[in-house]
Structure formats: structure tokens, C-alpha cells
């Protein structure tokens, strides 16, 4: 997702098991989060776009960037404790105030055989 | 003077309403046409909400794939929904909005799975969040994200990683 190169080294999946591979060590939960807001220009444009409806591309990109960042942080944490996979990954998003959102990615770091 | 200002406000309101209705309808129509076209295109990529992969002998490569979209309703729909909340009941104008968002997000996830070379996505989760803008309170923009694990037979891989 975030970084295809990193994902080749570290397996990230929202499954609880990996088909054909066994979990050797369980390292506990890892997480990554980020809070993002949009800048005024994007917000104004979105306000105009809101008259006719449809996709707000600026926001889609923003949320995607935030999610990539959260995933990257989670993966960095997993790597720092010596995991080679993160399983059962979940995403959660909350809007904190108007114009700011927190994205959280969490999962279980494991060592696969 | 006040009468002119009030009249001007009404004109702006009606223009926004008409713009929302006609352009919004046209855009929704175009979006649905595009969704249907791509749904046919990605029909070979299957997405399931099952938690465990099927019992197959061949080892599988897996990867997290996701798709997301932020979608906003038009001025007309907001107005109609605002009136509708007075009497309650089904807000069908928002139903189609969320339906579009969910299908679009699923399609983007399937597109990513196809780029990875997979035709099967399992453990699919759909998540929606309100994205409120700073302009006004309650700008009805929704973010829908779909994610799951794409599987493909590991035979396509050059050497197994340990």
C-alpha cells in the first residue's frame, strides 16, 4: 500500500493467519497514527464542489496520504521490534475537529517461519 | 434596499438549488454509468468478507489492498434531506450517495488487487467516516474505505522468501 518495496520485506495483511506459513513468535500489537488537516484552498474548493456534489478528489488524496503515513509508521514500529509480518491489520478514522481527521492503523506484529 | 437584498438572497438560493439539482443529477448519472462499466470490467476479481482463506494446497502470496473515496452530496440533496428530517423517515437522496461511495471504493480496491495480479480478495472490511469541512458545520462529505487481503498463487514468484 504505502510503500510497495517495504511491503515486500514486511508482510502486511488483515488476515489472522497467513496461508501456508506458520507464526513462530507473537510480538504484540503495533500501531501507527497521524492527524491531518486540509489547507484553506482545498477547503474552499470543497465548499464550492459541495454545491454540485460528487467526489472531493482533494480530500480523497488527503485521506489516502494520511492512511499511507499511518501504515508506514505501523510498519516501522513492527520492523523495529524484529517482526517480519503484521497480521489482522485494522484501520480506523475519526474526525477530531472540523477539518482535521485522525487515522489509526493497528495490527499484530509476528515473526513468520 | 432591504427588499432588494432579500430578493438577491432568494435568487442566489434558487440558483444554487437549480445548479445542485441539474448538475448533481447529471453527475450522479455519469458516475453510475462509470461504476457499472468498471464493475463489469473487474467482474473477475472476487471480493469476500470471509475471515479465512479457502483450503488450497498451493501457497499463496498475500497483500493488503484498499480503495477509498470522499464523496459529497449536492446542494439540492442537502436541502431535501433537511426538509425530510422534519418528518423523519427514509432519506433516499443520501442512500444513493453512500451506495455510490461504497461501490466506488470497492472498485478501487479491486483495481489495486488486479494490479497485484490477484483475482481474490478476502476479509473485506468497509469503513465510513464523516469528513467535515471548515466552511460550514456539517458539510455532508463521507469517506468510505474498503480494504482486504488479496491472494494470488505463489507460483508466480521467483523464489520463496523466508
Identify the structural domains of chain A with CATH numbers, from first to last: 4-36+66-112 (3.30.110.70)
The b/e string for A48-83 (b: 16+ C-beta within 10 A; e otherwise) is ebbbbbbbbebbbebbbebbbbbbbbbbebbbeeeb
Picking from A87-96, B99-108, B111-120, which range would have the lowest pLDDT averaged per residue?
A87-96
Picking from B92-106, B107-121, B124-138, which range would have the lowest pLDDT averaged per residue?
B124-138
Q: Do A98 and B137 touch (CB under 8 A)?
A: yes
Q: pLDDT at position A85, please?
A: 93
Q: Do A54 and B127 touch (CB under 8 A)?
A: no
Q: pLDDT at position A41, please?
A: 65
pLDDT in tens, B117-142: 999 999 999 998 887 654 455 567 88
Q: Which residues of A touch B102 (CB under 8 A)?
A: none
Q: pLDDT at position B82, please?
A: 84
Provide the 10 A C-beta neighbour count for residue A47. 16
User: Would you list the domain boundaries of chain B?
Assistant: 2-155
Task: Indicate if the pLDDT at residue B73 is higher than 50.
Answer: yes
Average pLDDT, stretch B42-68?
86
pLDDT in tens, B9-20: 889 889 888 888
Q: pLDDT at position B134, please?
A: 47
Q: Do A93 and B59 touch (CB under 8 A)?
A: no
Provide the 10 A C-beta neighbour count for residue A111. 14
From the list A53, A55, A98, the residue facing B69 with the nearest CB is: A55
> Which candidate in B47, B72, B94 is best for mutational testing of the A interface (most A CBs within 10 A)?
B72
List of residues 6+ apart from B43 with CB closer than 8 A: none
Residues linked to residue A30 through DSSP beta bridges, in sequence order: A107
Task: Indicate if the pLDDT at residue B158 is higher than 70.
Answer: no
Indicate the average pLDDT of chain B: 85
Q: What is the nearest CA distance from A80 to chain B, expressed in angstroms?
A: 18
The alpha-helical segments, DSSP class H, found in B42-91 are 75-87
Nearest CA-CA partner of A22 in B148, B156, B162: B162
Q: pLDDT at position A83, please?
A: 93
Q: Do A13 and B28 touch (CB under 8 A)?
A: no
From the list A50, A89, A93, the residue facing B129 with the nearest CB is: A93
Residues of chain B with pLDDT > 70: what percent? 88
Picking from B65-79, B101-115, B130-144, which range would have the lowest pLDDT averaged per residue?
B130-144
Q: pLDDT at position B101, please?
A: 94
Distances (CA, A) of B75 to A49, A91, B8, B84, B93: 10, 31, 18, 14, 11
Q: pLDDT at position B162, please?
A: 45
In whole angstroms, what is the distance from residue B42 CA to residue B38 CA? 6
Q: Which long-range contacts (CB under 8 A, 24 or more apart) does B30-33 make?
A: B31/A54, B31/A55, B31/B100, B31/B104, B32/B100
pLDDT in tens, A12-63: 999 988 887 889 999 999 999 999 887 666 666 777 777 788 888 888 888 8
Q: Do A50 and B135 touch (CB under 8 A)?
A: yes
Instruction: Please indicate, yes or no, whether the overall pTM of this predicted structure exceeds 0.90.
Output: no
In whole angstroms, what is the distance from residue A109 CA to residue A10 CA? 10
Q: pLDDT at position A89, please?
A: 94
pLDDT in tens, A74-94: 999 999 999 999 999 999 988
Q: pLDDT at position B116, please?
A: 92
Q: pLDDT at position B139, please?
A: 60
Name the DSSP letter for residue A21: B
Q: B2-155: which CATH topology? A: Translation Initiation Factor IF3 (3.30.110)
Q: Which residues of A touch B137 (CB under 8 A)?
A: 98
Q: Do B71 and A55 touch (CB under 8 A)?
A: yes
Q: pLDDT at position A42, please?
A: 66
Amino acid at each position: 500500500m504505502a510503500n510497495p518495496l517495504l511491503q515486500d520485506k514486511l508482510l502486511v495483511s488483515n488476515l489472522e493467519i497467513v496461508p501456508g506459513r506458520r507464526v513462530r513468535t507473537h510480538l504484540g500489537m503495533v500501531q501507527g497514527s497521524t492527524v491531518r488537516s486540509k489547507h484553506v484552498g482545498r477547503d474552499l474548493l470543497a465548499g464550492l464542489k459541495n454545491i454540485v456534489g460528487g467526489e472531493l478528489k482533494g480530500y480523497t488524496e488527503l485521506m489516502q496520504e494520511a492512511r499511507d503515513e499511518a501504515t508506514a509508521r505501523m510498519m516501522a514500529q513492527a520492523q523495529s521490534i524484529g517482526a517480519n509480518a503484521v497480521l489482522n491489520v485494522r484501520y480506523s478514522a475519526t474526525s477530531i475537529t472540523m477539518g482535521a481527521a485522525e487515522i489509526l492503523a493497528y495490527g499484530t506484529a509476528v515473526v513468520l517461519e | 434596499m432591504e427588499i432588494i437584498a432579500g430578493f438577491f438572497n432568494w435568487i442566489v438560493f434558487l440558483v444554487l438549488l437549480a445548479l445542485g439539482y441539474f448538475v448533481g443529477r447529471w453527475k450522479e448519472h455519469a458516475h453510475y454509468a462509470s461504476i457499472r462499466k468498471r464493475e463489469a470490467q473487474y467482474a473477475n476479481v472476487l471480493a469476500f468478507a470471509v475471515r479465512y482463506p479457502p483450503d488450497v494446497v498451493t501457497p499463496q502470496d498475500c497483500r493488503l489492498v484498499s480503495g477509498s473515496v470522499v464523496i459529497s452530496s449536492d446542494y439540492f440533496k442537502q436541502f431535501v434531506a433537511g426538509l425530510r428530517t422534519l418528518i423523519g423517515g427514509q432519506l433516499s437522496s443520501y442512500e444513493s450517495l453512500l451506495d455510490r461511495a461504497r461501490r466506488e471504493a470497492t472498485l478501487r480496491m479491486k483495481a489495486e488487487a488486479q494490479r497485484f495480479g490477484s483475482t481474490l480478495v478476502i476479509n473485506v472490511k468497509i469503513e465510513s467516516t464523516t469528513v467535515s469541512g471548515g466552511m460550514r458545520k456539517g458539510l455532508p462529505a463521507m469517506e468510505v474505505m474498503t480494504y482486504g487481503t488479496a491472494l494470488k498463487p505463489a507460483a508466480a514468484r521467483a523464489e520463496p522468501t523466508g
